Structure 1
């Protein structure tokens, strides 16, 4: 399919195609950002955690903290750094600090999830709205009193709008 055919099909889908296009672009952009974010974290975080735990086991607290400060852009480093800097913490305080910092980091790791949830809920509704608009165009084209005078181009345009919007709804969600 060439660009002009895609453009024609998009325009034939009616007004709801614009918000569906926006939802699709937003989804792809945010999914790409999240994928790059997780790839970057996954590549480095495991090694940093391993190195810090090894230094901690060797009672080399200063080197462990320095290693964490060098990698403060990683969630695990921020969690460990905040807990290892506790002075004379009891095991319960240490666990509580780990849990608290972990909950804070989870909020950062789940960034944009609410936008994805909104798009997942909104795209089918937009597609349904396109279906309704297409059916309205179809029924407006039917002349019940005189079927021979029915606007056949409006009838097919309405059905086309209905099907295109429904198809785009399925693809966007």
Structure 2
């Protein structure tokens, strides 16, 4: 699918669609009253992670990934993980892939799978503050493909969990 294909069905386009939803825009405008949380699997790395300081981790590339960039710059949403762990070098926060360490059968599983942070919890509120965040992968060691069916964690993504405090005043 990609970030911005000609068919206009990429991740960047998905964010533009969300930004056009009147209820979403209204929620962002009212976030000083009612907190807004946007979370999930964006299937896109973060523009906060693919920076000059980390290009050695990403094939020498610096990329302003549009999905996260647009969400943050157009709405003021904050990335809860990067709020508490601002350094993408010290805390990678990898959420994918949990069970693939090499690309698919078409490559004979010989090319390393790119591991990245593609699952997020964004928030906007003056009264909401992240106090703890972590990547969760179950309690048992993960088995890689083809033994992944024995995992106690049923996904090819890790979860991102963020605890927030809420100022009631």
**Is TM-score (shorter-chain normalized) higher than 0.5?**
no
Q: Which has the higher helix share?
A: 1
Into which bin does the TM-score normalised by the smaller protein fall? under 0.3
State the structure with more CA Rg.
1
Q: Return the TM-score normalized by structure 2.
A: 0.20
Q: Return the TM-score normalized by structure 1.
A: 0.20
Q: Which has the higher strand share?
A: 2
